[in-house]
Amino acid sequence: MVSARKAWGLVCLCFIACGAGSASAAVFGGDDLEIGWTGGTAFGPYVVNGAGTARGIFAVPTSGYSGSFSTSSYASSSDTRTQVSDTNIRIVDNAFGWFPPQWFQYLDYDNTLPDFRNLTFTVDAANTTVPGFTLSRVQVQENAIAIEFGEITNGQSISINVAVPEPASAGLIMVSACLVARRRRA
């Protein structure tokens, strides 16, 4: 027989499980990001050479991907590209591999998007072909995201899904109600 205390505990765990891990989709769509290549430092200065500073401003549509930023203009024979959709960041290598570390930075230069530290990031395993790629190669600041792509080789890709966590769910509200009701009886 299950005690009343254990039963309340199980009910609370069920409510928590029902509300855990949910996130909404829209993140970047309809805004602009400054995308650039920072070389060996996650949030360092952009690579600069005869072609200029390795960065650009890209409009992120609410459907589909932004224009593509490529390393090819700044490093001969290279062609690692990155694009951003409303809910995804994609990096694809079309030339040779790199010696790590190499970083792309995605900057909310006009500070109109939510704090990036509050976003939920997941590796899109179906579209990431770099063996062993994990979120340990993603760094986040208030208005910037940096992704290390140094071990990508020709034909490989990295895909990161991005979402905004939803506010407290019904499950968490129900847990609170259960705990309050339990205290009143004690």
What is the Cα–Cα distance from 78 to 182, expressed in whole angstroms? 63
**pLDDT recorded at residue 182:** 57
**pLDDT recorded at residue 114:** 87
Mind listing the pLDDT tens digit for each residue in 163-177? 988 765 545 555 555
Low-confidence ranges of the chain (pLDDT < 70): 1-26, 167-186
**pLDDT recorded at residue 70:** 95
Phi, psi of 121 (to 5 degrees): -115, 135
Domain map of the chain by residue range? 23-165
pTM here is 0.77
**pLDDT recorded at residue 178:** 53
Give the closest residue to 178 by CA, choosing from 23, 18, 1, 35: 18
**pLDDT recorded at residue 50:** 81
Residues forming beta bridges with residue 69, ordered by sequence position: 82
